[in-house]
Chain A
Amino acid sequence: MYWNKPYECMPREQLQTLQLKRLQKIVEKVFHNVPFYRQKLQEVGFELGDIKTLADIKKLPFTTKQDLRDNYPFGMFSLPMSEIVRVHVSSGTTGKPTVVGYTRGDINNWSEVMARTLTCGGATKNSIVQVAFGYGLFTGGLGAHYGAEKIGASVIPISGGNTKRQLMLMEDFGTTVLACTPSYAIYLAEAVEEAGIDLSKLKLKHGIFGAEPWSERMRMEIEKRLGIKAIDIYGLSEVIGPGVASECQEQNGLHVFEDHFIPEIIDPQTGDPMPCGEKGELVFTTITKEGIPVIRYRTRDISILNDEECPCGRTHIRMHKVMGRTDDMLIIRGVNVFPSQIESALLEIGDTQPHYLLIVDRKGSMDELEIQVEVSREMFSDKVKGLEGLEAKIKHQIESQLGLTAKIKLVEPHSIPRSEGKAVRVIDKRKI
């Protein structure tokens, strides 16, 4: 099943011609419209016309999350706000988040790639799709929503959380496709079991899951416990949101929708391009985006590209399920978390640099974050009420800045291990 066979199964030679044409156009566009890109391109001595083949992409400079942050909020937009119909926001490392803007054309393209994603996952116009990704600034909910509407499925825009209601609607409405984070899928599976709901009463058949790393073991568990076929999807707001790549029914790598995004693998240290089959950092160039095109955006995600033919018939290159990160970003319950964000939240509580440790664990199916904070002299109070108030204040600060509930544990000074003077910031106990 394809959503758009002419494009998804386009002969590679033809696809590459299309990519080259679109790449040349987008580079020209950002050169003229985005001062940031013009300056960067001029700095490396790039001239319009230098892109003669697809391999010339390596002449272009990289774009990083920091660049988006430096140009907060709209500095990287290629068009005036009058052309932007929506913005989405993703968490930043410290303070300011990164903002992306979509034109009407971008929303159409995004719906297109999400329609392909849902079709890859097994959805059709007869499906009832329960979108349990969060709706709002996060791209997950609305991305899946527009894709599902585009294919003509019936959408239940329930968003994340409220598990009891999820189960009720799933049972009563006969949901056939579930879209959410993999950890929430397991959570729902547990809730189904606890509620004593007979799987045969549910009509669930397909699941499209993403926004956080998950393993083959998790996939098997989800498939068994919910009685569905589970598909891995990939995306990031800086590129478009979900819909950058999706597994097909083969479940063997995610097809990157190459008529919209050009993927590369680079050596994260040197920035040198790496051939297919080698492990490195994923980089994307958007070749159809209008609102905020990105040139060679460094995702920090580690993967491998595979250009072998796929039995499904799609000609688009496949990326391996994300295998890790090149930075210290953690993904906890679908929320991107950088230790430095926790640090800045803590700094707003006291005046001095706090020593802290993040412990991430998966209890049952849900990620849990515990933040241990060493009590300093100025934080200390002889009243238990005062210390509990401090815990509550830290908890609230983290919640309001990161949108993540964490357990706060105050610990004695010097109890957090330090290696070579630098504290170990993260212990990730999750066995994904």
Chain B
Amino acid sequence: MIKQISLFLENKKGRLAHVCRVLGDAGINIRALSLADTADFGVLRLIVDDPARTNSVLSENGFVASITDVMAIQVPDVPGGLAAALEKMDKAGLDVEYMYAFIGTASQDALVIIRVDSIEGAVEIMEGCGINVLKEEQVYSL
């Protein structure tokens, strides 16, 4: 399972830069990132090369962070590639809580990080549908 770092940020000038600086100074490399925002606050979601250490670095620096299990799947980087994968999830009755995608540098495919509620079952279902679910090492070392 992929460990995602989730982090509370106030919607205030300079907060995002600050957290990125803290991680940079600690030598942590961000692999993927998504920011969900409301009028007052945001939730920053990060895929990093070392989730456990990132979590402790953030805590030491006074941030509220948690580790969330997410799923990373590989979809063909072609028009309709993501649609096909999501349709399969739909059919299997999997609800996407949130997701974000990025183009991998190591392969021709696109990578999608997906947060679902029952992640164990989800991985099996996705694999059953013929979708490639990535292992932790594959994602952290992208």
Contacts and interface: CB of A to CB of B under 8 A. Distances in A.
B29 interface: no
B43 interface: yes
Given A380-B8, A383-B98, A410 B62 contact: no
B43 A384 contact: yes
A393 interface: no
Main SS of the interface on chain B? strand
Contacts of B68: 382
A415 B45 CA distance: 21
A410 B41 contact: yes
Determine the interface band of chain B, counting residues with CB < 8 A from chain A: 20 to 34
A172 interface: no
Contacts of B8: 375, 380, 387, 410, 412
Nearest to B42: A384
Contacts of B124: none
Contacts of B97: 383
Interface string B39-81: 0110101000000000000000011111010000000000000
A11 interface: no
A361 to B, nearest CB: 16
Interface string B1-15: 000101011100001
Interface string A375-418: 11100111110011000000000000000000001111111000
Contacts of A375: 8, 41, 64
Main SS of the interface on chain A? loop
B64 A383 contact: no
B106 interface: no
B50 to A, nearest CB: 18
A413 B9 CA distance: 10
A417 B87 CA distance: 49
B43 A412 contact: no
A383 B98 CA distance: 8
Contacts of B64: 375-377, 380, 412-413
A388 B10 contact: no
Contacts of B9: 412
Given A375-B64, A383-B97, A409 B43 contact: no
A382 B15 CA distance: 17
B36, B40, B45, B66, most chain A CB atoms within 10 A: B40
Contact of A380 (B36, B62, B66): B66
Interface residues of A, number: 17
Nearest to A412: B10
A414 B62 contact: yes
A409 B66 CA distance: 20
A413 B62 CA distance: 7
A387 B43 contact: yes
B105 interface: no
Nearest to A411: B10
A388 B8 CA distance: 12
A383 B62 CA distance: 20
B52 to A, nearest CB: 16
B64 to A, nearest CB: 5
B38 interface: yes
B48 to A, nearest CB: 14
Nearest to B8: A375
Given A376-B64, A377-B64, A383-B98, A410 B43 contact: no
Given A375-B8, A382-B4, A383-B97, A413 B63 contact: yes
B13 to A, nearest CB: 13
Contacts of A409: 40
Contact of A415 (B4, B10, B40, B43): B10
Contacts of B36: 384
Nearest to B66: A380
Nearest to A382: B6
Interface in B85-137: 97-98, 115
B41 A382 contact: no
Contacts of A413: 62-64
Contacts of B115: 382-383
Given A382-B43, A382-B66, A412-B10, A388 B98 contact: no
A420 to B, nearest CB: 19
B43 A388 contact: no
B69 to A, nearest CB: 10
Contacts of A376: 64
Contact of A377 (B40, B66, B98): B66
6 contacts: A376-B64, A380-B8, A380-B64, A381-B6, A384-B38, A388-B38
Interface of B: 4, 6, 8-10, 15, 36, 38, 40-41, 43, 45, 62-66, 68, 97-98, 115
Given A381-B43, A409-B40, A412-B62, 11 more contacts: A375-B8, A375-B41, A380-B64, A383-B43, A383-B115, A387-B43, A410-B10, A411-B41, A412-B8, A413-B64, A415-B10
* 4 shortest interchain CB distances as A-B pairs: A382-B6, A382-B68, A380-B64, A384-B36
